[in-house]
């Protein structure tokens, strides 16, 4: 990269990637991108995003390429084409939450091309993207991190964690707490309501109490009526918890609360909540508690 602002590319323009691209456009960066369908990017194209048909074309025309994809399979699907267009000296910043092992394998392939891959998962949802307040954990080459840090600071607060895969390890550690917190909050709210406390009053008091973490405060307004357009799909949280459990198994570590959250999230998905926001755990628990058929419970 030269001393001028780098050209940015995005592969994956969903809720998170699309809002990141929009924020960088608003900050004056040249941004290109691709997604599964062009129609989904129409608002971004109107805002100045330069459409590319393939991940390879994104990589060929950008200095820094971001990927924001839902899982290991999606990331590996775009990797070959992206790497074919990734010239020596370029940097690939993956903000997806995926397996650290998969990320390290892709980092090795990227180095073979003379480029660098940084795993840079983020903590936060759509509101934090839009306000530029994401927490960003970065693993990989420290010199590459130094070059892209100004770009990352447009999105939030980045921290260099260590080698490839370590940013992802820390993100999974954080998401254990997010999933368990949301489940515990939903359990407490349901207990208070079933004990006769007005649900809104209980929610207000719980939010303002010492348990009101930033994540819970951010979701307090949607817990009783989660939006159809999820900030963070419950299924994504389930995926992250399972990634954490897999990493812990390799390390021989017990994660008892994560295991319980995994069980409840699996039931919630089976009940049809997979594409609702994580806050919908409260509705899922209500449904589980209201079962009268004696079936499996959480």
pLDDT tens-digit profile of 64-91?
A: 999 999 999 999 999 999 999 999 999 9
As a whole number, mean pLDDT of residues 162-166 equals 97
Of the pLDDT bands very low, low, confident and very high (cuts 50, 70, 90), residue 228 is: confident
pLDDT tens-digit map of 123-132: 988 889 999 9
The first and second tokens of residue 83, run together, are 């790497």
pLDDT band at 4 (very low <50, low <70, confident <90, very high): confident
pLDDT of residue 192 exceeding 90: yes
Is 169 a residue whose pLDDT tops 50? yes
Q: Is 90 a catalytic residue?
A: no
Structural domains in the chain?
8-164 (3.40.50.720), 169-289 (1.10.1040.10)
Percentage of the chain lying above the pLDDT 70 cut: 96
- Looking at the predicted structure, is the pLDDT value of residue 51 above 90? yes
- Distance of alpha carbon 37 from its chain centroid, rounded? 21
| Cα→Cα distances 276→134, 168, 174, 269, 294, Å | 21, 24, 21, 9, 25
- Residue 291's pLDDT band, with cuts at 50, 70 and 90, is low
Give the 3-state DSSP-derived string for the chain, with helices as H, strands as E and coil as C. CCCCCCCEEEECCCHHHHHHHHHHHHCCCCEEEECCCHHHHHHHHHCCCEECCCHHHHHHHCCEEEECCCCHHHHHHHHHHHHHCCCCCCEEEECCCCCHHHHHHHHHHHHHCCCEEEECCEECCHHHHHHCCEEEEEECCHHHHHHHHHHHHCCEEEEEEECCCHHHHHHHHHHHHHHHHHHHHHHHHHHHHHCCCCHHHHHHHHHHCCCCCHHHHHHHHHCCCCCCCCCCEHHHHHHHHHHHHHHHHHHCCCCHHHHHHHHHHHHHHHCCCCCCEHHHHHHHHHHHHCCCCCCCCC
Query: What pLDDT shows up at residue 292?
Result: 37
Give Cα 173 to chain centroid, integer Å: 13
Reported confidence tier of residue 2, pLDDT bands at 50, 70, 90: very low
Q: What is the pLDDT of residues 105-125, one digit of tens each?
A: 999 999 999 999 999 999 988
Distances (CA, A) of 275 to 125, 127, 141, 232, 257: 14, 18, 35, 8, 23
Q: Which of the following is catalytic: 22, 171, 217, 239? A: 171
* Per-residue confidence band for 297, with pLDDT thresholds at 50, 70 and 90: very low
pLDDT at 104: 97
Whole-model pTM: value is 0.88
Across the chain, what does the average pLDDT equal? 93
Average pLDDT over residues 290-296: 51
The distance of Cα 18 from the centroid of its chain, to the nearest Å, equals 12
The sign of the dihedral angle between the CA atoms of 20, 21, 27, 29 is positive
């Amino acid at each position: 990269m030269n001393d001028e602002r780098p050209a940015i590319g995005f592969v994956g323009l969903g809720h998170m990637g699309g809002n990141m691209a929009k924020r960088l456009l608003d900050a004056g960066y040249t941004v290109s991108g691709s997604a599964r369908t062009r129609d989904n990017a129409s608002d971004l194209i109107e805002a100045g995003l330069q459409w590319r048909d393939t991940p390879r074309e994104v990589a060929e025309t950008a200095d820094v390429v971001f990927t924001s994809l839902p899982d290991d399979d999606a990331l590996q699907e775009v990797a070959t084409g992206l790497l074919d267009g990734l010239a020596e000296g370029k940097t690939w910043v993956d903000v997806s939450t995926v397996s650290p092992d998969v990320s390290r394998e892709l980092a090795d392939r990227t180095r073979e091309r003379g480029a660098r891959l940084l795993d840079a998962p983020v903590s936060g949802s759509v509101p934090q993207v839009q306000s530029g307040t994401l927490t960003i954990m970065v693993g990989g080459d420290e010199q590459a991190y130094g070059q892209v840090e100004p770009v990352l600071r447009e999105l939030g607060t980045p921290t260099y964690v260590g080698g490839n895969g370590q940013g992802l390890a820390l993100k999974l550690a954080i998401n254990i707490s997010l999933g368990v917190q949301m489940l515990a909050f939903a359990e407490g709210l349901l207990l208070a309501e079933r004990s006769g406390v007005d649900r809104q009053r209980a929610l207000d008091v719980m939010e303002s109490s010492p348990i009101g973490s930033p994540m819970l405060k951010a979701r307090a307004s949607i817990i009783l009526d989660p939006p159809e357009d999820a900030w963070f799909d419950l299924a994504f949280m389930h995926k992250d918890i399972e990634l954490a459990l897999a990493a812990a198994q390799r390390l021989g570590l017990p994660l008892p609360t994560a295991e319980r959250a995994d069980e409840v999230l699996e039931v919630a998905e089976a009940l049809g909540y997979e594409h609702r926001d994580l806050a919908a755990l409260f509705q899922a628990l209500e449904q589980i508690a209201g079962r009268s058929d004696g079936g499996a419970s959480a």
